Amino acid sequence: MQRQQQVKIPTKRNRKRRVLSALARVSLFTVLGATSVAAKAVTVKVTDEEGQPVNEAVVWFESSQLTKQSAITKLDYKMGQRDRAFTPHILVVPKGAQVSFPNYDSILHHVYSFSAAQPFEFKLYRDNPQALTFANTGVVELGCNIHDWMLGYILVVDSTHFAITNDKGVADVSLSKPVAQDVTIHVWHEGFADLDQPESIKMTTLKTNQTLTYQLNQSLFKPKEDFSDEFDDYE
């Protein structure tokens, strides 16, 4: 049995937002007696302005009370290239994590980024992966100098509590114990007008096994259908 409580919390408006939508709303679903939940996590559902679920939105929590889990930072993060596409399309890593770039294709990729957070370039041959430590937070947009249509993102966050929404718009962010003081929830999506500006909202408390709904306060650029094929590099 669940009792639903909805709380409206004003957000700080971003001047760069082109869409002046209604204030972001966070619905707090306080789960009572949810004994069946095994892993301790906060479920965040991200919706667009029309209330439709948003896939591939990145959600992370920042708080002075949240201790960073070094095990998460030491995980083996991979930004691969398969069939001339970055896989995953979006990778979230905590600050200080190392990311390797395995090339699963049989052809060379020339991966680069001009991002402020981590500019770099690699020529990636098959079976010769390179790795890089991402020491600064921010959005690292990836491109390939051989396959111009390839696009990927590494989001470096100052947190080890993060997740990406699934096609139902749901992200389960692990939280082993409740946070009793200010906590900031950040949401980022590649369809944002300004990729360097995640949306944020401050909350006073965050309980484990809590369910939230975050409604974006901007409309998203819709990605175009991908027509790329293996012969598009003949240019």
Q: Is 3 in the site for another protein (CB under 8 A)?
A: no
Among residues 10, 52, 148, 180, which is the contact residue for another protein, using CB under 8 A?
A: 148
Q: Is 112 in the site for another protein (CB under 8 A)?
A: yes
Q: Is 18 in the site for another protein (CB under 8 A)?
A: no
Among residues 145, 166, 181, 205, which is the contact residue for another protein, using CB under 8 A?
A: 145
* 17 CB-near residues (< 8 Å, 6+ apart): 193, 217, 218
DSSP one-letter string for 127-187? T---EEEE-S-EEEEEEESSSTT-EEEEEEES-S-EEE--TTSEEEEE-SS-B-S-EEEEE
- Classify burial at 229, counting beta carbons within 10 Å of its beta carbon; exposed 0-12, middle 13-18, buried 19 or more: exposed
Omega before 88 cis (within 30°)?
Answer: yes
- Rounded distance between C-alpha atoms, residue 225 and residue 22, angstroms: 29
Q: Give the SS3 label for residue 202.
A: strand
Smallest distance from another protein to CB 38, Å = 40
Smallest distance from another protein to CB 56, Å = 19
Nearer to another protein, 167 or 226 (CB): 226
Nearer to another protein, 29 or 112 (CB): 112
Smallest distance from another protein to CB 190, Å = 13
> What residues from 82 to 111 belong to the interface with another protein (CB under 8 A)?
106-108, 110
Q: What is the per-residue binding string for another protein in 213-232, x denoting contact by CB under 8 A?
A: -----------xxxxxx-xx
Footprint of another protein (CB under 8 A)? 106-108, 110, 112, 114, 121, 123, 125, 143, 145, 148-149, 224-229, 231-235
